[in-house]
Amino acid sequence: MSIKRYLMLKGGEKVIIAVSGGPDSVCLLHLLLDLKDEYRLNLIVAHVNHGLRGKESMRDEAFVTAMAKEHFLPLRIKRISPGKYKNMKGTSLQEKARVLRYACFNELLEKEKAEKIALGHNADDQAETLLAWLIRGAGTRGLSGIPAVRENIFIRPLIEVERREIEQFLKQRDIEWILDSSNLENKYLRNRIRSELIPHLKETYNPNLVETLTQTSHILRAEDDYLQKVSEKYLKSCLLSRGTGVAFFDCRKLLSLPRAIQLRILREGIIIVQGSLRQIAYKHLISILQLLGKSGSSKGLPLPGGVKVTKEYDHLIMRTGRQVINPFCYDLPHIPESIPIQEINKEMKFTILKMNKRFSFSTDRNIAYLDRSKVTFPVTVRNWTSGDWFYPRGMRGRKKVKDFFIDKKIPFSERRKIPLLLFGDRIVWVGGLRSDQEMAATQRTKEILKVELTSLSD
């Protein structure tokens, strides 16, 4: 049984059963009723009325209401107003309905403090999904089909049971169900696959097609899960930094990886910046790979959904929306314990230390050690402006901060996010990069000003 194979239930859970009134969900309800005592389940029936089929939608609601009452189960009905569909952009009506339906389930999950939501997807649904993704074009993620368990919340106990078996079970028990007339409309791809393509393939090529495709989906899911774990490992080494709507990747590390892992990392990058892969196709990922392989910097590659990808030096940058860094300048009449820099989500911390024989300087680039005796006021923290220059430690003479950024291959879009620390008019630290030659503390310094740059969330 799928419940045991995929560890769907441990026992004692509160389970919300999504019941539409169709054969699959009705079968699911009776299956869980049969297992109610064995697993000590607390069952709740949930019905989502999409309001798309007029009287038929109300018929379905009345049917599920009567069934819940017959089995003395609590019932939760969620009705979706037609206006909600109009306010959603881009997707098909079926997709909109699916999104709204799952939103209802998640709302109920929280309200009822339930552990699981049981859904009635079966093996035929799995086969239809695999074929639909194959026709549209998909990788192993799409071709692995519908997961038996998702997020350890959504469970599908019938995912390995064929539709004919479900209907046979209901007929043997003389259990009624109702049909959704929209499932008979061939304007939808899935319905055409169900009513035309699968019967043809069964009759002409493989009578056990559903079983074969279900096995294929299992194989592909296992391989996809493995590749996903591998790509997550490499993502950590390739992802230099991330923020709201932006992510930076190391081009050289990305280019050193196999293409299969590159594509997965790019997918994850888009999810980081825009929250989903909606409207992003394989061709878009290939365009990013082509950009990645070009030498020098790029003007940028616009993608659907407002995502823009650019290459600056050795950085691949993904961002959504316009990233604006407001100028900041903090003049301090004294040395504080810390100063938050909200504009870049950073904090600069100050600590005064005494030099001793056992003192050792950290190599952390986000820490600067300055000579406390050389501090002049005001102490200023601000971002870079054109014309700034300083005396970099370890170099002779002065250098424009702009040229220093170029030497360090700091992307132009990131330069104004780097805080500069000044004593009076002199730049003494380019935050996280280099301190001033003359202001840096040495072993002969008596009192040290330790300056540390951290994230505000740290």
pLDDT band at 139 (very low <50, low <70, confident <90, very high): confident
Mean pLDDT, residues 243-256: 89
Confidence of residue 148 (pLDDT cuts 50, 70, 90): very high
Q: What is the pLDDT of residues 31-48, one digit of tens each?
A: 999 999 999 999 999 999
181 or 443: whose pLDDT is higher?
443
Q: Indicate the pTM of the whole model.
A: 0.71
**Taking residues 437-446, what's their average pLDDT?**
90
Q: How confident is the model at residue 10 (pLDDT cuts 50, 70, 90)?
A: very high
**What confidence tens digit (pLDDT) does each residue in 63-89 have?**
999 999 999 999 999 998 877 877 776
Higher-confidence position of 91 and 48: 48
Question: Which 3-state string (H, E, C) describes the chain?
Answer: CHHHHCCCCCCCCEEEEECCCCHHHHHHHHHHHHHHHHHCCEEEEEEEECCCCCHHHHHHHHHHHHHHHHCCCCEEEEECCHHHHHCCCCCCHHHHHHHHHHHHHHHHHHHHCCCEEECCCCHHHHHHHHHHHHHHCCCHHHHCCCCCEECCCEECCCCCCCHHHHHHHHHHCCCCCCCCHHHHCCCCHHHHHHHHHHHHHHHHCCCCHHHHHHHHHHHHHHHHHHHHHHHHHHHHHHEEEEECCEEEEEHHHHHCCCHHHHHHHHHHHHHHHHCCCCCCCHHHHHHHHHHHHCCCCCCCEECHHHEEEEEECCEEEEEECCCCCCCCEEEECCCCCEEEEHHHCEEEEEEEEECCCCCCCCCCCCEEEEEHHHCCCCEEEEECCCCCEECECCCCCCEEHHHHHHHCCCCHHHHCCCEEEEECCEEEEECCCEEECCCECCCCCCEEEEEEEEECCC
Give the pLDDT of residue 457.
66
Of the pLDDT bands very low, low, confident and very high (cuts 50, 70, 90), residue 99 is: confident
User: What's residue 324's pLDDT?
Assistant: 64
Is 114 a residue whose pLDDT tops 90?
yes
pLDDT recorded at residue 107: 94
- pLDDT above 60 (res 120): yes
Residue 97's pLDDT band (cuts 50, 70, 90): confident
| Domains, the chain, with CATH or none | 2-122+141-187 (3.40.50.620), 244-320 (3.30.465.60), 329-455 (3.50.40.10)
Mean pLDDT across the chain = 91
pLDDT attached to residue 90? 59
pLDDT at 154 over 90: yes
pLDDT band at 452 (very low <50, low <70, confident <90, very high): very high
